[in-house]
Structure 1
Amino acid sequence: MPEALILRAGRSPFGARHGRFAQRHPAELLGEVLAAVLRESGTDPGAVDEVLVGCATPVGAQAANVAAAAARAVGGLSGVPASVVSTQDTSSLVALVRAVDAVRSGRCGVVLVGGVELMSTVPAGADMSHRGFGLPLTPTPGEAHLPPGPAAERWAQRHGVGRDWLEEVGRRSRRRAEEAQAAGRLAAELLSLPGGAPPNAGGDELLGAGEVAGRQLPEGLYSRDGLLTATTVAPMADGAAAALVASPAATRRLGLEPVARVAAAAVVGGDPGAGCGSSPEAARRAAALADVSDGGIGRVELAEPFATAVVNWEISCAGWAELLNPDGGSLALGHPQGATGLGLLARLAPALAALDGGGAGLAACDAADGHGVAVLLEA
């Protein structure tokens, strides 16, 4: 079975909701990101066999196949089949897994994968409006399923996780992200887009001065005495990300050098009412598929929609806890749902070369319905 190689992965800066990207169309921003990945990898658009795009909420401006609209904006991709993958927060990582499957099966030689979410235009839950079409879904028997925030808070209560633990996770994420930005490490994952000098003037908007004070609310977000606060819930954000996946044969034919190899990937279902997803189990399964021991993992990039996601890993995967998000995560940078997964990959891929012995790393993400995704990369 052919291997799947990553030729380039990168992202736009993540903008604050109602910030720098608020007046952009999702397809326009995504098109610029797709074009940048092709350009920076040295790949001719004519070599692309398929485009797959993750988008958590494909309604409004993100409806009508935003993948095809973005592909049309990129010269040379207008005739390439393009489709949207929508699996909540995991959308772009699931799109990547499907791209890997397409390459490994031999069906495709090169797949361009994207992820986009402009939450200024299409906020979370916009596809769940009771003013929409049809009837509401009849709840399944058993325990009531809460929205993601209250469900995460209930998970923390049931596991004896206090606000101090969660707040430390939030502060640590921001501290690490600010240190990484100051050291120039975040620049490696940012693509050069029109309208900004590389790596896009201004960088990630939510790391701007004064943002911490505006987000640290003294009371819980979901109840007056609740555990989750604005420090421990990732802010909605705008952004796009992309990756180019290719077979070894296509890579040689194009004369390109990969930045990483996809050693394994796993998608694991979970309990929608649990309040935390199954990404720890997905990570263990991916490591087993790649025959990589716990000690063979050198870095883990985990989506942080809530601080509880990190605590879940600290409890469930204690051996990897010290490897989590060394340069911060969604709690600091923001969480453009459809782009977050590939954003993790864009950070992980260039960092692999710096690991001892080349090493391996994991990108992992959970969804509100309980499923988790993990992708294991090797340098």
Structure 2
Amino acid sequence: MREVYIVDYVRTPFSRSRPKKPEKDVFHKIRGDELAKIVLDRIVEKAGISKEIVERIVMGCAFGVWENWAYGGRGISLLAEYPVETATMITDMQCGSSIASAQTASLEIMAGVCDVAIAGGYEHMTRVPMGMENQHISPNFRLIQDERYKKYEMNIGFVMGLTAERLFQEAKNITKEDLDEWGLRSHRLAYESLKSGYFRGEITPISAEQADGSVIVVESDQSIRGDTTLEQISNLPPVFMPNGVITAGNSSPLNAGASALLLMSAEKVKELGLEPLAKIKAFGYSGVHPAVMGKGPVPASKKAVEKANLKLSDIDYWEINEAFAIVTLYAVHELGIEPERVNVHGGAIAIGHPLGATGARLIGTLARTLREKEADYGVATACIGGGQGIAMVIERV
């Protein structure tokens, strides 16, 4: 199997989505596939290559319906004016969609099917909402109503916030205060990274028309709150159940955005004289019970690290998606990770979680972190609605 390298990484800023008040989303006039077009344009420009050498585009989207439907990915590549010969595909693994797209593209390069691929994802949670707010999806409610499927507890599994509440109930030695403190940590680390200019290394600014007709340049993630306090977070009410612990302060918000990774074989990297960010070492995925989908990163990460012939103690830095603080803290406890090595530039609670775009952001930010810290190995991992986990191990080069 051939080696695969992450040559470059870009993303849009992540807006704050407002399905019921769309005018409050700075990207409310930009479609999701147009956000994807922006990163497909920018990734080759940033790397200094032509679109003609890209053989494969694999993009992830958790809700690929309505405007997000992309004709098998073809609509996006044509919007970005890639050659008609460039083959495309859309993947759906919910919150792990663009880690899955990176895995798919990597396997094709490893197998010699292609040498140059772009993997990423997009989501617009204002224009195409998630869950029951989306009139264009229709879950099969037999999974709830039919007695033979009751064992999956999809009355909980279909509602991500309820799965987080269940995980909290099952977790040991994790308190509501821990969740809120992790939420505050996420905002503080992200705000420090924003102010230091760190995110400029991955974000491409976007000119966006607003509701009043004005045009603003969006250069940073819109959900980061540098002035929030622990008291403010702690006083937020539970969202999903009375007397619950899951609040807006310890959960990721709704967002819109896109991300992309440029992947190449070792031979192509050498031929073009490029300096890659990292090498893809291994990946893994796992199924868990749908009612505790937040457990997914634990078995998936163990599998990926084992496939890389490493130990958990060999991993220098982690990007564990903060769909909910309980997911990240559960993984930290179960995997025995030092918190100081996790989400060092903030996580999804602050940066945002546009579902299909998140995985490539985790991988790309991790690759940049390894270079910044001169560290060797990292793991990017996410939980997945429906009861799954996905993980990727990368190595600094």
Could you state the TM-score of these two structures normalised by the residue count of structure 1? Answer: 0.91
Q: Give the Cα separation in 2 of the matches to 1:12 and 1:291.
A: 34
2:6 maps to what in 1? 6
Q: Give the Cα separation in 1 of the matches to 2:170 and 2:153.
A: 15
1:35 equivalent to 2:48? Answer no
Number of aligned residues: 374
1:187 maps to what in 2? 200
- Which residue type is aligned with residue 73 of structure 2? A
Q: Which 5+ residue runs of structure 1 have no aligned equivalent?
A: none
Alignment of 1:1-379 (within 5 A): 1-17=1-17, 18=22, 19-65=25-71, 67-125=73-131, 129=135, 136-139=141-144, 140-145=149-154, 146=156, 147-160=159-172, 161-191=174-204, 201-207=218-224, 218-356=236-374, 358-379=375-396
Q: Give the Cα separation in 2 of the matches to 1:263 and 1:132.
A: 36
**CA spacing shift, 1:210–1:118, aligned 2, 3 Å:** farther
- Which residue type is aligned with residue 128 of structure 2? V
- Which residue type is aligned with residue 159 of structure 1? A
DSSP 3-state at the match of 1:90: helix
> Is the 1:10–1:242 Cα contact (8 Å) retained in structure 2?
yes
> Is the 1:216–1:230 Cα contact (8 Å) retained in structure 2?
no
> Is the 1:102–1:108 Cα contact (8 Å) retained in structure 2?
yes
**CA spacing shift, 1:171–1:108, aligned 2, 3 Å:** same
Q: Give the Cα separation in 2 of the matches to 1:122 and 1:134.
A: 16
Q: Give the Cα separation in 1 of the matches to 2:351 and 2:234.
A: 15
Q: Which 5+ residue runs of structure 2 have no aligned equivalent?
A: 210-216
**CA spacing shift, 1:164–1:214, aligned 2, 3 Å:** closer
Deviation at 1:295, TM superposition (A): 3.3
Percent identity between the aligned chains?
A: 26
Q: Give the Cα separation in 2 of the matches to 1:81 and 1:37.
A: 17
Mean Cα deviation higher: 88-97 or 308-317: 308-317
- RMSD across aligned positions (CA): 2.4
- Which residue type is aligned with residue 175 of structure 2? G
- Which residue type is aligned with residue 138 of structure 1? L
Q: Deviations over 1:310-352 (max 9, x none)?
A: 1111221123433110111000111100001111122111221
**CA spacing shift, 1:137–1:256, aligned 2, 3 Å:** farther
**CA spacing shift, 1:14–1:159, aligned 2, 3 Å:** same
Q: Give the Cα separation in 1 of the matches to 2:241 and 2:225.
A: 28
DSSP 3-state at the match of 2:258: strand
> Is the 1:57–1:126 Cα contact (8 Å) retained in structure 2?
no
- Which residue type is aligned with residue 144 of structure 1? E
Q: Deviations over 1:109-164 (max 9, x none)?
A: 111112000101011115975x8669644341425220111111021023253311
**CA spacing shift, 1:143–1:52, aligned 2, 3 Å:** closer
